[in-house]
A and B are shown apart, each in its own frame.
Chain A
Amino acid sequence: MRWFSNAAISRHENPLGLPTRLKTPSPQSNPNITKGLPLKRAIPNVKKVIAVYSAKGGVGKSTTSVNLATSLAAKGIRTGLLDADLFGPSIPLMMNLVGKEALLTPQNNLQPLVNYGVQTMSMGFLVDENQAVVWRGMMVMKAIQQLLWQVQWSNLDILVIDMPPGTGDTQISILQQVVLDGVVIVSTPQDVALADAKKGITLFSKMSVPILGLVENMSFFTCPNCNHDSHIFSPPGANRVDLLASKLGTNVIARVPLDPLVCEASDAGKLVSSLASPKIGAVYSDLAGVVCEKLGL
């Protein structure tokens, strides 16, 4: 199996090891040292681009992205899913595409892999799954650029970008380069996550990206034995996700309960709607509906 990153090409200019071409149609090659900020561009062949984000790790961005994307596709929307997490790409596992390798088009762009009606691209298709990506900022930025501009999407209505957590190079690079039509912020109910959610909202607002809404993930758990509701990640008292949403002028557009079947589905690369209760499938379908409405799709 050929792994791009093992190619003997100048790694720093071309971290993904893609074959070089005469003229790379990308923004200034080194945004850090050229004058002024790079110009924001639209991604070719894509009508709308949204990000799914949280500053906090492990709140369910990838789970939300995958289920949102597959729900959109189920509604007949031509959907793409870009996994922008270079260090921990979860999308291949959740989309049942583990071990698959991204191939090149005749124009030397990356060909997305398709499953459940969604065109997908991830670092996971370019690097061996046991291999750690131990890269510094500059290479990370270059790799993100390649993932943003050198993927051959096929006439998408919407591209969902699953962002990695944090407020570092990856996030800055994407925000500075891509025209984003909206962001969905994911959070679990506890303060530790909400504090980070607030940072995320601030970050995207500063960059003039419309906040489509908050998704409250892992909101509560219903015991299958006694039906008792446990708010495992919520402190007692008023719902803090609601409070944060109203404080920041947005609203909660989905509440996803904690269900072990969601985890099971993700691990098996199966659709949540096929394993978990119809209630959860409906939550994601409704979320897709809200996103479509806000974007005018």
Chain B
Amino acid sequence: MSQTSAAENVILVLSGKGGVGKSTVSTSLSLALALGGGASSNNSNTAVGSRGGAKVGILDIDLTGPSVPRILGVSEHRVHQGSKGWVPVQRTAAVSNAEGVATAATEGSLGCMSIGFLLKDKGDAVIWRGPKKTAMIRQFLQGHYLIIDTPPGTGDEHIALVENLREGWNVTGAVLVTTPQDVSIADVRKELSFCNKVGIKVLGIVENMSGYVCPHCSECTNLFSKGGGEALAKEHNLPFLGYIPIDPSLVSMIESNVPAEGATPGDGNTVGGYVAGFPESGVYEVFQTVTERMIANIHAKGSK
């Protein structure tokens, strides 16, 4: 079966632990890359200008709980079949140049592919056994970056994913997401062991849900402890990509849709609240730093 060319950089987002925010981090990373985050560092591999956004694809292979379409606000869309396979749903993240005008050269884009698009009813559970799940993992996207959001664990989906990717592509590396507490770190350690076993380079560790700032009095409480992710990175001599605090407006952003630019009210042309709100959100800068460090590690020589 012939494949279209794979993305220049294929990055897995992994965690041994469920509910640490892999989908949110994957989506945020993809948006940050599409908006040009990290483009200021040396990225001669990408074809975009030094201030432009990248062409990014995000692939959600969590078969039992595909969250990415919901976060992007595209869960109402249905994917359609093109001549080369499923065509992803596109969202364009326009970046303005100095005059405030979006130009082709600065425009990044984000394409999204998810098993969620193939489910008719959002309430359906995909209750499949191993072999059928394995057969479903055959999606691919073109672009500068392909971010793959995975379910937690080290079972069928992961084994199948690595085997399938190995058939034709190079996996650039993996970003591991954890929350700060020991219970999560314990599971993420296993994920590190998985990466070592299958030879995936770890591009870095992200410590998510690290601190909550009370919107009322600005006191920061470490709801889920603090520092575990950074300590894990140090322990294994891996890059630490950053602390991501809990953004109080995250949930309401995700659950709202706003009219797209140029849309008339009520015409159904909407953009996910998170996509619209991300550049102004409290975590945008954090993710710019995360992507910069991640890209630096992609190009770093001499790592495993």
Interfacial residues, chain A to chain B (CB-CB below 8 A)? 32, 55-59, 62, 86-88, 90, 93-94, 129-138, 140, 164-169, 172, 190-192, 195-196, 198-200, 202-203, 221, 223-226, 228, 230, 232-236, 258, 260, 263-264, 266-267
Contacts and interface: CB of A to CB of B under 8 A. Distances in A.
A88 B183 CA distance: 9
Contact of A203 (B125, B155, B156, B186): B125
A284 B23 CA distance: 30
A158 B127 CA distance: 28
Given A58-B179, A263-B223, 19 more contacts: A32-B129, A56-B65, A88-B153, A132-B197, A134-B155, A134-B194, A136-B130, A137-B130, A138-B130, A167-B64, A168-B129, A172-B127, A195-B123, A196-B65, A203-B125, A226-B219, A232-B246, A235-B251, A263-B181
Q: Which of A134, A164, A221 has the most CB of B within 10 A?
A: A134
Nearest to A236: B252
B284 interface: no
B225 interface: yes
The 6 closest A-B pairs by CB, nearest first: A58-B19, A57-B18, A137-B130, A199-B125, A228-B216, A87-B153
B156 A62 contact: no
Contacts of A132: 16, 154, 190-191, 193-194, 197
Nearest to B16: A88
B183 A167 contact: no
A166 B248 CA distance: 27
Interface in B154-203: 154-156, 158-159, 179, 181-183, 186-187, 189-191, 193-194, 197-198
A126 to B, nearest CB: 14
B144 interface: no
A172 to B, nearest CB: 7
A73 to B, nearest CB: 21
A223 B214 contact: yes
Nearest to B198: A134
Contacts of A233: 251
B182 A59 contact: no
19 contacts: A55-B64, A57-B151, A86-B155, A88-B17, A129-B189, A134-B159, A165-B65, A166-B64, A199-B65, A199-B123, A223-B214, A223-B217, A226-B214, A228-B214, A230-B215, A230-B216, A232-B251, A235-B255, A263-B223
Interface in B57-74: 64-65, 67, 70-71
A171 to B, nearest CB: 8
A259 to B, nearest CB: 8
Contacts of A131: 190, 193
Contacts of A191: 70, 254-255
Secondary structure dominating the interface of A:
loop
Interface in B194-243: 194, 197-198, 212, 214-217, 219, 221-225
Q: Which of B130, B181, B212, B248 has the most CB of A within 10 A?
A: B130
A94 B67 CA distance: 28
A282 B194 CA distance: 40
B258 interface: no
A88 B225 contact: no
Contacts of A223: 214, 216-217, 219, 221
Given A132-B16, A260-B223, A263-B181, A203 B153 contact: no
Nearest to A62: B183
Given A224-B219, A234-B251, A136 B156 contact: yes
Contacts of B186: 88, 90, 93, 129
B152 A137 contact: no
Contacts of A200: 125
A202 B155 contact: no
B251 A90 contact: no
A297 B133 CA distance: 40
A57 B194 contact: no
A162 to B, nearest CB: 12
B23 to A, nearest CB: 8
A223 to B, nearest CB: 4
Contacts of B189: 129-130
Contact of B254 (A130, A164, A192, A225): A192
Contact of A134 (B23, B122, B197, B217): B197
B152 A57 contact: yes
A88 B215 contact: no
Contact of B65 (A55, A136, A202, A203): A55
B216 A90 contact: no
A260 B159 contact: no
A225 B212 CA distance: 13
